[in-house]
Amino acid sequence: MPIDTRRTQPRNPRTWWWAIAVPGLVLALTTLAVTTTWQPVTRLDAQSAAAAYDLSVGHPTWVAVLDLVAEVSRPIWLRSVMLVVAVVLLWRGHVRIGVWLTLVTAVEWVVAPGLKLLVERPRPTWEEPLHQIGGFAYPSGHAAGAGYFASAGVILALLVLPRGRVRGAICTGLVLVSVAIGLHRILLGVHYASDVIGGWSLGVLVVLLGGALLLRLDPEQPGPVVGTVGIRPSRLAVIVNPVKVGDLGSFRTLVCDAAAAHGWDQPLWFETTLEDPGTGMAEAALAAEVEMVLVAGGDGTVRVVCTELARTGVAIGVVPLGTGNLLARNLGIPLHGPDAVEVALSGQDRAVDAVSIGGDELHETCFMVMAGLGLDAAIMEGAREQLKARMGWTAYVVSALRQVRYPAVTVEISVDGRPPVRRRARTVVVGNVGSLQAGIPLLPDARIDDGMLDVVVIAPGRLLGWLPLVARVLARGRRTDDRLDRMTGRSVVVRAERTTPRQLDGDPILPGREIRAQIMAGTLLVRVPRLPR
């Protein structure tokens, strides 16, 4: 999987040194207090050690568990795991991260025992020792190894994994494991609290110092550093729908110049065709092991490419050239081509949801924006390319006026496997985002990264019934009834009593009677504008 060192980089490089200052200051103060036998720290150490010993003594099963933790968390095992990871990274060409991980492992391996020899602090002594161990106490070798292991693991998770619950859970788990390793040394009666605090801060400090020296990027060059980490240039692919570009040569020059300015290699270039709207091009880009795919086209082209890139960890940059451009609008991506190219090449990755979609006569695919059955699909079908080219997104308004008498159809809607709700509806829309063109809040609660699908069922009684429904939508009203109903869940099945028009992200597809949608939370990385400093 591509590794992006920017995910660990503060926008201001001085933040590295502020992060280093915290464990550095803790280590310095703790070491000073231990070496000078400062009474407040010495007294607190003695009291906490006695309290921990009293909790463990006389409980052989508990002590056996602590002994097991001591064995499996020995620093030699933690270092060995990280060295294996470093070898894998080097073998796969991630040179800078591999070197960094090897270096911090070696430094921690030497510094922790060396500081023990310098301080020569005796271990706690008890009439009935719980665990036999020799050597000096400060700093705790187990705690130093745990601090180094957890902080290195967190940085690797930030580099490798997309934003989301999995990455957060892994980082939290590493921190909790580090805390548990340190605390068990006190409960075994072989270390004081200051030994553990000093060990933790030493391990973290070594990792952060190595990161500041080997992983820090030039803040004036915000382009990605992937593959051979920290070494520019990097590989980029461009997938363009030539029908949507007025002057393909000028657009290619624009992208290539911008890529060079941001430190990217000259991009691989793919053009979609009528026979292949982007699937083969995306597969070729992935086979070339690019770090990002820039897709230029309408929502349909973007949808096809996103389907291929979901769950790959390869980011997608969007240059919206269509009529609706709903994905770009809902993510704050500029609609002006050069500005969108700039965001794609220098923005930040955002993990968003994709939606798996299927149905009768419909091969499993994905959508990013909305899927619909009924009137909305008829509107999309009625907005011909010539009309959209001449009128832009207002072509959908013209088509909607033509379809205003579109007949209702009886549908059954099941959310998250619950018993279906039966409605007589003009249209049913399953959405991953909330807003239509002109900011119309069709699904006001929908968020593209909330791990949920939002459904709206629209069923005006008569022609004039559209007016209050439109007013309720524009006012972001939350009231629901048989005329305007909303539902939320992770999976949705919509079945119509007869064959009905269907659409995906604004593209009409084969009419049918069913659509089945399932959220795929956080499975796609999209390049969006950087947050303000």
Report the CATH number at residue 339: 3.40.50.10330
Q: Are residues 51 and 119 in the same domain?
A: yes
Q: What is the pLDDT of residue 214?
A: 73
Q: Are residues 372 and 355 in the same domain?
A: no
Q: Which residues of 255-289 are buried (b: 16+ CB within 10 A; e: fewer)?
A: bbebbeebbbeebbebbbeeeebbebbbeebeeee
pLDDT class for 325, splitting at 50, 70, 90?
confident
pLDDT class for 221, splitting at 50, 70, 90?
very low
Q: Are residues 353 and 436 in the same domain?
A: no
- Of the given ranges (210-214, 333-337, 400-404), which has the lowest mean pLDDT? 400-404
Q: Are residues 262 and 186 in the same domain?
A: no
Question: Alpha-carbon distance 353 to 451, whole Å?
Answer: 6
Is the separation of the CB atoms in 296 and 321 below 8 Å? Answer: yes
List of residues 6+ apart from 285 with CB closer than 8 A:
237, 239, 268, 270, 293, 314
Q: Are residues 262 and 348 in the same domain?
A: yes
pLDDT class for 162, splitting at 50, 70, 90?
low
What is the average pLDDT across 36-41?
A: 91
Q: Is residue 524 part of a domain?
A: no
Q: Are residues 336 and 394 in the same domain?
A: no
Question: Alpha-carbon distance 339 to 347, whole Å?
Answer: 11
Which position has the higher pLDDT, 118 or 211? 118
CA distances for 115 relative to 42, 111, 142, 218, 243, angstroms: 19, 6, 14, 34, 67
Q: Is residue 229 part of a domain?
A: no
Q: Is residue 221 part of a domain?
A: no
Question: Alpha-carbon distance 23 to 206, whole Å?
Answer: 9
Q: Which residues pair with 237 in a beta bridge?
A: 268, 293
Q: Is residue 527 part of a domain?
A: no
Q: Are residues 15 and 125 in the same domain?
A: yes
Q: Is residue 147 part of a domain?
A: yes
Q: Is residue 226 part of a domain?
A: no
Look up the CATH number of the domain holding residue 512. Answer: 2.60.200.40
Q: Interhelix angle for 165-187 vs 39-56, to 10°?
A: 90
Q: Are residues 60 and 163 in the same domain?
A: yes
What is the average pLDDT across 268-287?
A: 92
Q: Are residues 18 and 153 in the same domain?
A: yes
Q: Are residues 392 and 346 in the same domain?
A: no
Arithmetic mean of pLDDT over the chain: 84
Calculate the CA 1 to chain-centre distance: 14
Is the separation of the CB atoms in 199 and 88 below 8 Å? Answer: no
Q: Are residues 374 and 321 in the same domain?
A: no
Q: What is the pLDDT of residue 164?
A: 63
pTM tops 0.75: no
Q: Is residue 507 part of a domain?
A: yes
Q: What is the pLDDT of residue 218?
A: 34
Q: Is residue 409 part of a domain?
A: yes
Q: What is the pLDDT of residue 90?
A: 80
Q: What is the pLDDT of residue 430?
A: 94
Which position has the higher pLDDT, 414 or 211? 414
Helix residue ranges per DSSP H, 361-447? 375-382, 385-391, 394-402
pLDDT in tens, 49-68: 899 888 988 888 998 998 89
User: How long, in residues, is the chain?
Assistant: 533
Q: Beta 484-489 vs 315-320: how paired, if at all?
A: unpaired
Q: Which residues pair with 366 in a beta bridge?
A: 356
pLDDT class for 377, splitting at 50, 70, 90?
confident
Supply 233's token pair.
């240039």
Name the domain boundary from 184, 214, 244: 214
Structural domain of 312: 236-359
pLDDT at 190 > cutoff 80: yes
pLDDT class for 416, splitting at 50, 70, 90?
very high
Instruction: Return the SS3 of 411.
Output: strand
What is the average pLDDT across 159-169?
A: 72
Domain tally, the chain: 3
Q: Are residues 159 and 240 in the same domain?
A: no
Half-sphere exposure of 501 (CA within 13 A, CB side): 19
Q: Which residues of 206-222 are buried (b: 16+ CB within 10 A; e: fewer)?
A: bbbbbbeebbbbeeeeb
